[in-house]
Chains A and B, each alone.
Chain A
Amino acid sequence: GQNIDQPTEMTATEGAIVQINCTYQTSGFNGLFWYQQHAGEAPTFLSYNVLDGLEEKGRFSSFLSRSKGYSYLLLKELQMKDSASYLCAVRDSNYQLIWGAGTKLIIKP
């Protein structure tokens, strides 16, 4: 079966750096996505990786290793507004998105 694993919850301190991991086993691979979802709100797109390596976008970076079935989202200079759930999703060989359950990130002052 297809599976996306990510930690259920993480806690970090304002101003620090946090890395949220995502491992996947899917039928084929056509890209990996990270979305941010604040409580009670809709998910919003953060990043997309299709080739191995690091994609940087401001305070957020996303890394992909296709051979290891692994990605991480790196958040730098954490702010209180970064408290949210972070969803990892993989697009499989049928171009369907398989979603992880999300990682709830709690930022403490």
Chain B
Amino acid sequence: DADVTQTPRNRITKTGKRIMLECSQTKGHDRMYWYRQDPGLGLQLIYYSFDVKDINKGEISDGYSVSRQAQAKFSLSLESAIPNQTALYFCATSDSLWDSGELFFGEGSRLTVL
């Protein structure tokens, strides 16, 4: 089983619908992140959380919200989806801000908004 699990893996929805992407991890890491990836662009940080009580906006948080339900769970919501939110979304975890601070990614959730 993957250490960082995302559901759903693929989702097609319509404009205006509410969508939730879920992420759970078994690595025991405190730090969790949500990124989106678009063709030709670098990964863009949406939100991040350094512990259950800590939520921070990333560079492209508009139109998104998150919930850190437990150390192991971090959900991303699109309250009213729009077509330019069509992208590949990755959840990631890390155990350290220092040193290598290696990120461990989930397998991705491909979202299409029609």
Q: Does B113 sit within 8 A of A, measured CB to CB? A: no
Residue picked from A45, A87, A89, most chain B C-beta under 10 Å: A45
Q: Does A66 sit within 8 A of B, measured CB to CB? A: no
Q: How far is the CB of B64 from chain A (nearest CB, A)?
A: 17
Q: Are the C-beta atoms of A97 and B108 separated by less than 8 Å?
A: no
Given contacts A48-B100, A95-B97, are A43 and B105 in contact (CB under 8 A)?
Answer: yes
- Specify the main secondary structure of chain B where it touches its partner: loop
Find chain A residues with CB under 8 A from B108 CB. Answer: 40-42
Find chain A residues with CB under 8 A from B41 CB. Answer: 101
Interface string of A26-61 (1 = CB under 8 A from B): 000001010100001111110010000000000000
Give the docked Cα–Cα distance between A98 and B58 (Å). 11
Q: Does B20 sit within 8 A of A, measured CB to CB? A: no
Partner of B101, one of A8, A31, A42: A31
Find chain B residues with CB under 8 A from A8 CB. Answer: 40
Q: How far is the CB of B87 from chain A (nearest CB, A)?
A: 14
Q: Does A105 sit within 8 A of B, measured CB to CB? A: no
Q: Does B90 sit within 8 A of A, measured CB to CB? A: yes
Given contacts A41-B107, A42-B108, are A99 and B101 in contact (CB under 8 A)?
Answer: no
Find chain B residues with CB under 8 A from A91 CB. Answer: 101
Q: How far is the CB of A90 from chain B (nearest CB, A)?
A: 10
Give the docked Cα–Cα distance between A100 and B43 (Å). 8
Interface residues, chain B, CB within 8 Å of chain A?
40-45, 90, 97, 99-108
Given contacts A33-B100, A40-B108, 7 further A-B contacts (CB under 8 A): A31-B101, A41-B108, A43-B43, A45-B100, A89-B43, A95-B97, A97-B45
